[in-house]
Every structure is written in C-alpha cells, then in structure tokens.
Amino acid sequence: MKIVRLCQFSDVDKLVELAHKAGPGMTTLKPDPGAQAARIDRVRRTIEGSAAIADQGYLFLMEETDTGEIVGVCGIETAVGLEQPFYTYRIDTSVYASREMHIWSKMDKLTISHDLTGYTELCSLFLDPLHRVSCNGALLSKSRFMFLAQFSDRFGERVCAEMRGVFDENGDSPFWRALGSHFYRIDFHEADRLVSLGKKSFLAELMPRFPVYIDFLPDDAKACIGATHKDTTPARHLLESEGLRLERHIDIFEAGPVLEARIDSLRVMRESGLCSVVISDTHKAAPSAPHLIATGKLKKFRTGLIYTAPEQGLIMLTPAEAKALQVSTGDQVRMMEAYPRRVV
C-alpha cells in the first residue's frame, strides 16, 4: 500500500535521489543533501512549535509500505513572503480610448507584485515517472488538502500553488529568454539555483520597475503565460478539481500559472468528514470509489487510498490497511472521496 507521511531525517538520501529525477524548474526540490536536511529540520521545528511563522513548513513523502521505497514528495509552506519576498507577475488590463477617433483598445500588462504575501503555499510536488499510474498522483497531491482540513488552525485564509511553466525542447524557457534574461543577465538555471538557496536580493535589485505590456513580447513567450509544463498538467488538473483557479498571477521566471483559493472554499472543507476505525479481516465491504483516508495525529499524520466507503460514521479496514496507516480500532480518521462527483 502506498501512503503519504511527514518526512524524517532518515529520508534525506532517498529525497536527494528523488530530486535528481525532477529536472529544471523545481526551485524547492534540488538534489542537495544539506538543503534537504535543513528543510526536514524546519518540519521538525514547525511541528514542535519552535519555528516562527515565516519559517514554518511541512514536507510529505509517498512511501511504498511493502518495500520502504520513496516515490514522491510534496510540501506545504505555512505563510510565504513574510521573510523572503514572494514575487509574482500580476496580469492587469489597461483600456485606451479616443472619442474623436472612435477607437478603443485593451492591453494586458505584467506588473511585479507581492499580493500573495501571507498565503499558504502548496509546493514541491513531484512523483517518480515510473509511478505515475493509477491514483498515485491524486493521493500525493490531495494528501495536502486532508492535512489542511485536519489542522486548519495552523494555516491562514488563502492558499496558492505555483505550477511549473513551459520549457522548449532544449530545456530553456521562452518567457525567460524574452523578458527575464534582459534584466537579470544570467542563465535561467543559475537564477533558479540562487532562488533555491534563498538568495533573492538580486530579484528586487534587477527586476523591471515598470509594467511590461504583453503585446510587446514574442509569440512564443506570450504562449507561455499561464501555461503549464506538460509533465505538470495532470497536477494542475488535480488542484483545479479541489477548487484552486488561475486568477491574475504567474511565475516571474517562466510564467507558469499561480493557482489560488480561499481555504474555506476548498472541496475538502465541504466534503470530508470524521469517522471511527473498525479493523476486521472477515468483513467484506462492497467495492467503492477510491476514498482518501487520513490519520488525525500531527506527528504521525498519514494519508492513503482505500476502496471502501464509510457507513454510519464507521470505516472498516483490513489489518494490512490499519498497519500501513498506523491506526487501531476506535481511532478517528478523516475521509473523503478522492475525486469530486460529476454532476449530470
């Protein structure tokens, strides 16, 4: 059984190995043992309550319980932009009109923004390509929503998620080539590396001071705005199914979409519920649509997928499922259908 759990210090080497498979564009997932160990330490301090809110974050790993293999990672940052600026481009619209000429035009422009300061961020999502089958992607991505619902008092009002943008066949970003490279004068991957190390002062020092009109950009750069990398498109669809949407913000490097939502408007806040565990190796439950199930303890938080629906406030688990989720009879868990029901 695959489960998603909070990371531990013993996971550093496996996390670095997974990061090697991610490729360019994932600022928060680099194959650096020191950086990953420091991030896991942040998780420890966050759980213990010793981290300032600006430093709080959670990192989750997908584990195959039979083998101990780590096949995926995802994270939550409690509140972005409080210590290090959280820059995006905001898409604004200007209208120009001439009564005398009977002409009007509407033009979109990009303006550097701090609008998302204080948002909770869903981040660092990566699933080993060999395991992008069945419901693994849904389990990995949506486990974070179960965590948000279970521990909502640890987060603010709004959530966002930066999606990886478009790269060409050479691994370069057309948007960066058309815009960012003229201001920062360094390679995209070098800029990405500096940001991953927390060295962001060059952004404020060199970024454009005035709005950039989108119509002035080359066609290949314009096509990148709000577009998602082909490998990240399934992740975007999963987040949109839970209530996040592209509103007005994009990534300042490769123009990938930044999805947003109020936490209290997410599907998990409406449709998930608590029930009690009953362990039975003889009960034969009727087959069901996949359900997310999450344990209620912070340090031992775990999420898995089962194909059994709760009945009258109870959920029947097999001994193997209970062992993987580390729950006992009588424990309270949170459950929700993995996919929203289609309205006919």
Using one digit for the tens of pLDDT, what is the confidence trace for 207-250?
888 999 999 999 999 999 999 998 889 889 999 999 999 999 99
**What CA–CA distance (Å, rounded) separates 228 from 225?**
9
Identity at 20, one-letter amino acid code: H
Residue 344 pLDDT > 50: no
Q: What share of the chain is helix, strand, coil (3-state, %, to 5)?
A: 30, 30, 40
For the whole model, what pTM was predicted? 0.90
Bigger pLDDT: 192 vs 167? 167
Residue 64 burial (C-beta neighbours within 10 Å; 0-12, 13-18, 19+)? middle
Mean pLDDT of 3-26: 87
Rounded (5°) CA angle 1-39-150: 55
Mean pLDDT of 183-206: 77
**Cβ atoms of residues 261 and 244 within 8 Å:** yes
Q: What pLDDT score was predicted for residue 187?
A: 80
Element (H, E) at 88: strand 88-98
Quickly list H helices, 301-342: 319-325
Q: Options 3.40.1180.10, 1.10.530.10, 2.40.40.20, 3.20.20.70; which CATH number does 271-337 get?
A: 2.40.40.20
**What CA–CA distance (Å, rounded) separates 165 from 25?**
8
**Cβ atoms of residues 81 and 118 within 8 Å:** yes
**What CA–CA distance (Å, rounded) separates 208 from 194?**
18
Told to judge if 291 belongs to the known catalytic residues of this protein, a careful annotator would answer: no
Mean pLDDT of 195-211: 78
Residue 191 pLDDT > 60: yes
Residue 24 pLDDT > 70: no
Mean pLDDT score across all residues of the chain = 91
Question: Which tens digits make up the pLDDT trace of 283-333?
Answer: 666 678 999 999 988 999 999 999 999 999 999 999 999 999 999 999 999
Q: What pLDDT score was predicted for residue 152?
A: 95
Q: What pLDDT score was predicted for residue 169?
A: 86
Element (H, E) at 181: helix 181-184
Q: What pLDDT score was predicted for residue 59?
A: 97
**What CA–CA distance (Å, rounded) separates 73 from 75?**
7
pLDDT band at 281 (very low <50, low <70, confident <90, very high): confident
Q: Which position among 182, 229, 237, 283 bears the catalytic label? A: 229
Q: How far apart are the first and last CA of the chain?
A: 33
Bigger pLDDT: 231 vs 1? 1
Helices 12-19, 33-48: axis angle to 10 degrees equals 120
Residue spans of the domains in the chain: they are 83-116+157-270, 271-337
Q: What pLDDT score was predicted for residue 236?
A: 93
Q: What pLDDT score was predicted for residue 297?
A: 87
Least confident of 100-109, 167-176, 189-198: 189-198
Bigger pLDDT: 25 vs 164? 164
Question: Which tens digits make up the pLDDT trace of 144-187?
Answer: 999 999 999 999 999 999 998 999 888 889 999 999 889 988 88
CA 277 to chain centre: 29
